[in-house]
Amino acid sequence: MKILPMDTKSENPGRDPFQKKGPGLSTSNVQIMPAMNMQGLSCATEEIRPLAAYDKPGYALCNYVDHFMETGAGPVPVIRPDLDKRDRLSTIAVRCGIRRHKYLVSPGLYGIGSPDPDSEVLVTANYKLTFDHLRSALGGISAWILVLDTNGVNVWCAAGKKTFSTRELVNRIQAVSLKQVVTHKRVIVPQLGATGVSPRQVKTQSGFRVVYGPVRACDIPVFLNNGRKADKSMRQVSFTLFERFVLTPVELHGALKMAGITALALFVLSGIGPGIFSFHEAWERGLVSLAALVTGLISGAILTPVLLPFIPSKKFAFKGILTGSVCTLLLLPVIYPGIGSMAGAAALFIFSVMVSSHLAMNFTGATPFTSPSGVEKEMKQYLPVQLAGVLVSAGLWIYSAF
């Protein structure tokens, strides 16, 4: 997922995703200089230019760029396959949802290894997490990487949003003058981007043939060694326990955005009673209701995603109800002394379960199990239930104070 925004419209690849300017370079705290169009530079006689040739006052080279090489279309940054400490720390931050929507690399053409005019062209998105995942799988392989402008969205989601598209692929092929870089006329597109790309139109508009690669980047070396042929396992999408677990931090981060407002509302509601409003009760009962909120958060944003295949029902919202019910029933005996009535217990039970249901339903967008139409149908069915549940629980919680 980045840390500072960058101009994704630039044709200059190799720029630091944490900064805003410079082809293969990032701006420092010195004077900001105008961006240069590296693709428009004339070709030099040497095959590779040292990094020092691209040093400019106020700029620093991107951490993943090893050197620049000359091609028929001008200098192209050659990147390293290995991830450094900065990449790994940024990945952790993005996995936790920290500014992930702006974790970008500049769209354009990159090289990896020692690519030549016969090397394959691998197409990907300009989401840096996707970019890093691809390059880390290409150790020992020489290839070209064509990065499309997907506004910092991964391949699968970008294909659904039509930013990883036929039009963008054709435009990017033309923008980097790919015909002057490679002698063949094919590009390898990730299978997960197939919904956004029409091979026939790409061939008609650019002259390049689309070959669909495997689902996972780690299978690319075998795919290339097999003559660009994928076996059955390379065409299947997995969603293992680990793959589900690594998605939970960003789900929890998204939930926390509204959790603070919700917690404040709980403390206010908890203070309403016979004396109109009591700060003492707001604090005492507010802490109890906060425990129900936290339980709903953990149940819906962590436990339900992790245990997804083992929970009955195809409806994510109902899975959240089941998980939330179990977790809240385990919580109630612990907090019941602070509740004092069955009405209050019912209020917190309903509230916690509805929170769990809503967060579990939000997870539909992160799984390979759902379709846009199915998600829309489920939301129409369960959003009214969740809203009604929250309103009923609020009424019961206020009533329990009298």
Q: Could you report the per-residue pLDDT of 276-312, keeping only the tens digit for each?
A: 999 999 999 999 999 999 999 999 999 999 999 899 9
Range from 94-98, 151-155, 394-398 carrying the lowest mean pLDDT: 94-98
Contacts of 45 (CB under 8 A, 6+ apart): 70
Helix, strand, or coil (residue 29): coil
Average pLDDT of the residues of the chain: 84
Range from 26-40, 259-273, 373-387 carrying the lowest mean pLDDT: 26-40
Cβ–Cβ under 8 Å, residues 290 and 263: yes
> In the predicted model, what is the mean pLDDT of residues 10-29?
44
> In the predicted model, what is the mean pLDDT of residues 69-80?
92
- Of 298, 329, 324, give the one whose Cα is nearest residue 386: 324
Residue 197 has pLDDT above 90, yes or no: yes
pLDDT at res. 10: 39
DSSP 293: H
Q: Which residue has the higher pLDDT, 308 or 21?
A: 308
Q: Which domains does the chain have, with CATH numbers?
A: 25-237 (3.40.50.11600), 242-399 (no CATH)
% of the chain exceeding 90 in pLDDT: 56
- In degrees rounded to 5, what are phi and psi of residue 157? -65, -40
Radius of gyration of the chain (CA): 26
- Rounded to whole angstroms, how far apart are CA atoms 15 and 27? 9
- Of 359, 244, 246, 340, give the one whose Cα is nearest residue 293: 359
Cβ–Cβ under 8 Å, residues 22 and 10: no
Q: Is the dihedral of CA 236, 133, 298, 379 positive or negative?
A: negative
Range from 10-24, 233-247, 387-401 carrying the lowest mean pLDDT: 10-24
Cβ–Cβ under 8 Å, residues 123 and 148: yes
pLDDT at res. 50: 67
What pLDDT, in 10s, does the model give residues 227-243? 888 888 887 777 777 77
% of the chain exceeding 70 in pLDDT: 84
pLDDT band at 250 (very low <50, low <70, confident <90, very high): confident
Range from 8-12, 159-163, 174-178, 304-308 carrying the lowest mean pLDDT: 8-12
What are the Cα distances from residue 46, in Å, to 31, 38, 75, 127? 31, 16, 11, 32
- Kindly provide the residue ranges of all beta strands, DSSP E only, lying in 167-241, ordered along the sequence: 186-189, 209-212
The single residue listed with the structure tokens 């209020």 is: 347
